[in-house]
């Protein structure tokens, strides 16, 4: 084989290894709610990713939720993975929850794995679920 053929095969092998290491929702395209935007109503996309820098006043049901530093949810959240850098006023039910140092959460939290960085504020009952 030629040198180019080997490089192509090596690249395909490396790409295959990288693809296997991606999270299960990596094929999903994120929806982004930018800072300054507000949705009043429920956001339901069971097979979706939501990056939130704006505000949602309503329930959020997604696969993965990332609340940016300027983001706010005023309602309950149900997701597989949740990362909060902003504010959530409502209950969170998820498998994996990460609260960054800038996170402000008020409400009941049910999780399987929890990571809390120093400085995060969590007010409400916290329950590990099986």
Q: H-helix or E-strand containing 96? A: strand 96-99
How far apart (Å, rounded) are the C-alpha atoms in residues 45 and 75? 15
Query: For residues 107 and 88, is the Cβ–Cβ distance under 8 A?
Result: yes
Copy the structure tokens of residue 111: 């999780």
Q: Is the pLDDT of residue 4 over 60?
A: no
Q: Is the pLDDT of residue 113 over 50?
A: yes
How confident is the model over 42-70, as pLDDT tens digits?
Answer: 999 878 899 999 999 999 999 999 999 99
Percentage of residues in the chain having pLDDT higher than 90: 72
Identify the band that residue 39 occupies on the pLDDT scale cut at 50, 70 and 90: very high
Identify the band that residue 12 occupies on the pLDDT scale cut at 50, 70 and 90: very low
pLDDT at 104: 98
Instruction: Quickly list DSSP for 7-52.
Output: HHHHHHHHHHHHHHHS-TTTTSPEEEE-TT-EEES-EEEEEEEEEE
């Amino acid at each position: 084989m030629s040198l180019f053929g080997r490089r192509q095969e090596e690249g395909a092998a490396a790409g295959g290894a990288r693809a296997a290491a991606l999270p299960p929702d990596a094929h999903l395209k994120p929806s982004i709610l930018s800072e300054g935007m507000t949705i009043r109503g429920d956001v339901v996309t069971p097979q979706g990713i939501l990056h939130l820098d704006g505000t949602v006043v309503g329930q959020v049901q997604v696969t993965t939720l990332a609340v940016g530093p300027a983001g706010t949810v005023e309602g309950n959240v149900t997701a597989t993975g949740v990362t909060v850098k902003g504010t959530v006023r409502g209950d969170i039910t998820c498998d994996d929850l990460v609260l960054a140092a800038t996170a402000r959460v008020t409400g009941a939290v049910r999780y399987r794995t929890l990571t809390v960085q120093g400085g995060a504020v969590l007010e409400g009952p916290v329950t590990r679920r099986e």
